[in-house]
Amino acid sequence: MHVPVVIVGSGPSGLLLGQLLHLAGIETVILEQRSKAYVLGRIRAGVLEQGMVDMLERAGVGARLRAEGLVHEGFDILFEGRRHRVDLHGLSGGTDVTVYGQTELTLDLMNARDAAGAKTVYEAEDVSIHDFDGERARVRYRKDGLEAWLECDFIAGCDGFHGVCRQSVSPSRITTHEREYPFGWLGVLSETRPVSEELIYVSHPRGFALCSMRSHTLSRYYLQCGLEERVEEWSDERFWEELRRRLDDAANRDLVTGPSIEKSIAPLRSFVAEPMRFGRLFLAGDAAHIVPPTGAKGLNLAASDVHYLSGALIDYYRTNNERGLDAYSQRALRRVWQAERFSWWMTNLLHLFPENGSFGREMQRAEFAYLTASRAAGMALAENYVGLPY
């Protein structure tokens, strides 16, 4: 069977790419190792840049986002008990972010793909990619015990950090850059009213914390924790007690606690693989780069990759012009490195790094003092947080 584009991975980047190509009349098949229920069950962040919101509108999946998404014009930084509000709207010239859970976004894209009758193969086992340096690429997989092959013009590797696509490229062809942080985020999801209408980023001598939300009735909280710690060691009671220690009096007065409905520990990593194109194989999203979640850039970077890649593929099939395909890696990586820098900066500003000693903490204090006193510093933060132009 021949199909123009095979997309490996049915996360948001793969689904969004498939939807944009479908609207342009380009057939795709998506292969997903996991079940549909598993993909929908993954708990992920959901702070969307305006550029991503606009792209979802163009993809025809913006209705529920408009109705249920929470538009945020700013957020708070709570640094050693002192609150500072970052006015994203005012400092960026009128741009906001929208809080909309990745689970809901994935569901919207899945429903759009189902309505279009586009093919997604869930629980596709032993996926392997072949001949992507030749005239035609091929993808092999097994479904229900039967082997199948797809011949295609291009492969989009949207299968995440541990996916098969990047791993299928010879290591000699890839340059990787990586920073593993010496801590993780312990996250709790609870059916409780959020402590604030906007996010609160917390830097405390006991460690970082974040008060976030998915909706008006669903809250998401995070605590910096050691990599050696286990979820089982953190009862709900212990989590809420530790969170209270890191919040100020105002937040503690408004904090509503309750049973957790999901709890997990995620390590923090910065990672970039370059280039992002290998013949007929293109990498997008977490397959090519990872950012620490502090700057809310992971999902948004995947969307900007899709913006560049979908445009290049659409241009190729309309005009037989390969300039966009040739420029994809360079254009995507330029924005990737800007987001990596910002995520690294926010992570270093807000987290506890005991190995940096008193000098490191004083540098954080000086950075926060500069941020609160300088409009230029605030504008730089806001410009990056709401998203740099594509």
Residues serving a catalytic function are 72, 201, 293, 297, 385
Give me the phi and psi of 210, to 5 degrees please.
-140, 130
Alpha carbon distance 24, 35 (integer Å): 27
What CA–CA distance (Å, rounded) separates 387 from 97?
9
**Rounded CA gap, 212 and 201, in Å?**
9
The first and second tokens of residue 25, run together, are: 């009349």
Q: Enumerate residues 6+ apart whose C-beta is below 8 A from 193.
A: 216, 217, 219, 256
Structural tokens at position 330: 């360079």
Q: What does the alpha-carbon distance between residue 345 and residue 341 come to, in Å, rounded to a whole number?
A: 6
Can you read off the two tokens belonging to residue 267?
Answer: 């390590």
d(CA 105, CA 19): 13
Spell out where 237-328 has E strands: 260-274, 277-278, 281-283, 289-290
How many other C-beta atoms lie within 10 A of the C-beta of residue 135? 8
Cβ-contact 282, 155 below 8 angstroms:
yes
Backbone angles phi, psi at 19, to 5 degrees: -65, -45
Q: Which tokens in the block code for residue 375?
A: 């409009």
